[in-house]
Each structure stands twice: as structure tokens, then as C-alpha cells.
Homo-oligomer: A and B are copies of this chain.
Amino acid sequence: MAVLARIERVRADVHAASLDAFVVTHLPNIRYLTGFTGTAGAVVLLPDTCVLMVDFRYVTAAQALVASLQTGAIVVETVPNTYDAAIVDLLRRESCRRIGIEAAWLSVSRFNAMSSDLAGGAPTPLRADGPTPVLVATDRIVERARMIKDLSEIETIREGGRRISGIARRLRDFVAVGRREDEIAAELDAAIRGAGFSRPAFDTIVASGPNSALPHARPTERRLHAGDSTVLDFGGVYDGYCVDLTRTVQLGAPSEALRQIYEAVARAHQAAVAAVRPGVRPSVIDAAARDVLVQHGLGEAFGHGTGHGIGLEIHEDPRIARESPGLPDQPVEPGMIFTIEPGAYVPDTGGVRIEDDVLVTADGCELLTDAPRLMMIDV
């Protein structure tokens, strides 16, 4: 019944914003609030009910889902034509006046068309009293709730972390001199599915030698050479929830410059994990990693943030990054789950990244992924 608590939490925020309806159009947010997993849908949250709107493809599944909750808190409505027409019709039937929409997830054209339908000639006539209904842009209402994982979410991600760690512990089976990056990536994808994930959580990265110095490399036809560092960044979706892990495997002895990068990144990773506890701001966790890399002369070589939330999406709040105008930097809280993934990328030398997933606990954090942080293969 986790969804009922989620609905109540979001409804409180909606009420606090003086809205009498909230239209949810972002699929991960719809799944979060109702458990519905279809590829199209909408939720209209009203003061005393939560309407899950689905089209003909999903009516049976949605009704079964709602029946399994054994509560009247969610009702299913079937969309006869377009979602937006059905939403407007419901809002008019319910005489809603201040209607929140998810500004980050509604296009200008949908906003304009729905606004104009609400104000004008839609089928149900407006009541003569009261002002014209207005759509109000809201910012990340459901995303804020999603930052704090509930017990069922934590257990799911913990299990995903166990399974992805199992693959990470046998990376030696995948990486060898002469093998191609894209071939290794395809085998990792198969291993991810084989481990019970429904799919990889993002395009698997296998970046070797010079490619390892590109933080966002895609697998190429390059074959691995002795001396290469190879960054392997992969994740899976387990029961709807994403996990994300990176290890860098060294083939044969690294150059002295590369050895120092490994050492610096491992220390940065350790420092950031050690900094995670309730009340600490994300920028402070980021600084814990960044300061170590700066001390090793690798400040410029670390061009991305230290981590990001994971959950129903692979990139969620909180962002673990430098303080920056417009970026929230609210202290982390128990129940948050995010990655810690410092890296350093030096052209002509190579790149190293180490990434684990952590859960903020009452007094620190729990590592949800577990595999050797440094892996060397003799060649």
C-alpha cells in the first residue's frame, strides 16, 4: 500500500500550493503514485480521489492493479479519444479552478491547447459562477517526494545492487586483450538481462585506452591493448528501479601516471562515501571527492559531478555536485539513494571512474553495490 502514502504526501504539497487538482503526465511519476507501468497514461489528483487515466490497451491491467489495492483511493477512467481531451473533460466535470501541471513534463503545445479548451468551447459547459480555470506551472512536486525512498523501494534497489555487483565481481570474464569494446558491451547487456534485470538502465559504456579519457564514450570497435585502463559503466532496471555501477579494469601494469590516477580516484571515492550522512549538503559530498583530486593535480580532469539520485529513473534528484545558482543543495536525508562516482580523465594517459550506489541511513550510509574497487588483470 506504499502508493497510498505517496499519494497523501503529494496531495499535501498540492493542497499547500492552493491547487484543487494536479495533473501528472510524467510516466515515472504516474508509476510512483499508482504502480501503473504502461507506456501511456495520466493521473489527475483531486482532493478526495486519484484518477488514473488509461487508454483501451491498458484498461484491464489498470483495473486489476487498482482492485488489488483494495481501496477506493484510486479510480480508473478510460480515455476515449486523446488524453488531453479526457483530462480537460474531467477537470470541467469536477469544476476545478486552479489546476497544477508538471511544467517540466508538459509541452507548450499541450499546455496551450488544454488552457484554451478549459477556457472555451469544450463539451461540458462551464458553470456561470467562478473564474475561468487556470493551469498553474508546478515544479518537481512528485520528484521531491521521490527523493526519499520508502521501504519497498529500498528493498528493490538493494536487490538490484546485489545483482549488479555480482556482474561487477566477474568483470575479469569480460575484459581481455584483443577483445572489442562493443563486443564486451553486448556481453554485459546479456549478463544484465541474465541477472534478472528487465533491461540495461542506460547505454552500457566500455571505454578502453584513449577512449577511457572520454567521460561519455560509447563502445567502439577498438580492441583492448595491454596497458589499457578500461572504464565499464553499466546498470540495470530491476522491478522498475535503476542501479548504476562503474569499475575500471587495468590490463597489465599501468604507466606511473595512470597508477597515480587510480590511486587518486579511489581515495576520492572513499572520501565522498565517508562524507555521506544526514544533514550534509550535496556540495559538501562533492567537495570531499573533488578536493582529493585537486590535491593530486587532477581537479581539471574531473569534469562532471560526483553523483546523482537513482530510482524509477537513472538520473534523479539529488544531484551531488558543486554549488551552483539554481541548483538545489538541500542537505541529504535518510532514505535518499544516489551514486558516488568520481573520475579523472587525462588525454594520452587514460581515464578512471569508480561508481557505487549508496543509501543514506540514520548515521551515515549503506553501500548498495559491492565489488573490488580496483581490478588488475595480468597480461
Residue A5 at the chain B interface, CB threshold 8 Å? no
A107 to B108, CA, bound (A): 6
Assembly CA distance A340 to B115 (angstroms):
35
Asked whether A106 is an interface residue with its Cβ less than 8 Å from the other chain, the reply is yes
Q: How far is the CB of A190 from chain B (nearest CB, A)?
A: 9
Nearest residue, chain B, Cβ from A140: B109
Binds B, one of A97-105, A246-254, A355-363: A97-105
Contacts of A57 in B (CB 8 A): 214-216
Contact in complex: B137, A303 (CB < 8 Å): no
Asked if A83 is at the interface (CB within 8 A of a chain B CB), the reply is no
A142 to chain B, nearest CB (A): 14
Decide: A139 and B107 in contact? CB cutoff 8 A: no
**Chain B residues whose C-beta falls within 8 Å of the C-beta of A101 in the assembled complex:** 108
Report if A106-B108 is in contact (Cβ < 8 Å); known contacts: A56-B303, A216-B57, A303-B56: yes
Interface centre among A108, A109, A111 (most CB of B within 10 A): A108
Residues of B within 8 A of A56 (CB): 303
Answer whether residue A124 sits at the interface, using C-beta atoms and an 8 A cutoff.
no
**Looking across the interface, which residue of chain B has its beta carbon closest to that of A55?**
B216
Of all chain B residues, which has the CB nearest A199?
B203
CA of A101 to CA of B57, assembled, Å? 33
Is A112 an interface position by the 8 A CB rule? yes
How far apart sit A216 and B54, CA to CA, in the bound complex (Å)? Answer: 14
Chain B residue numbers with a CB within 8 Å of A105 are 107
Closest Cβ of chain B to A187, distance in Å, is 12
The digit string for A24-62, where 1 denotes a CB below 8 A from any CB of B, is 000000000000000000000000000000001100000
Considering only CB atoms, which chain B residue lies closest to A40 in the complex? B216
| Per-residue interface assignment for chain A, residues 71 to 92, with 1 indicating a CB less than 8 Å from any chain B CB and 0 otherwise | 0000000000000000000000
Give chain B residues whose Cβ lies under 8 Å from the Cβ of A107: 103-108
Residues of B near A214 (CB, < 8 A) are 57
Question: Within the assembled complex, what's the spacing in Å between the Cα atoms of A139 and B101?
Answer: 21
Contacts of A112 in B (CB 8 A): 103, 137
Contact with B along A101-145 (1 / 0, CB 8 A): 101111111011000000000000000000000000101000000
4 tightest A-B CB contacts, nearest first: A103-B109, A103-B108, A104-B109, A108-B111
Offer 5 A-B interface pairs, CB within 8 angstroms, sorted by A.
A57-B216, A101-B108, A104-B107, A104-B109, A107-B107
A interface residue numbers (CB < 8 A to B): 56-57, 101, 103-109, 111-112, 137, 139, 214-216, 303
- Known contacts A57-B214, A104-B109, A105-B107; 15 further A-B pairs (Cβ under 8 A): A56-B303, A57-B215, A57-B216, A103-B107, A103-B109, A103-B112, A104-B108, A106-B107, A106-B108, A107-B107, A107-B108, A108-B111, A109-B137, A109-B139, A112-B137
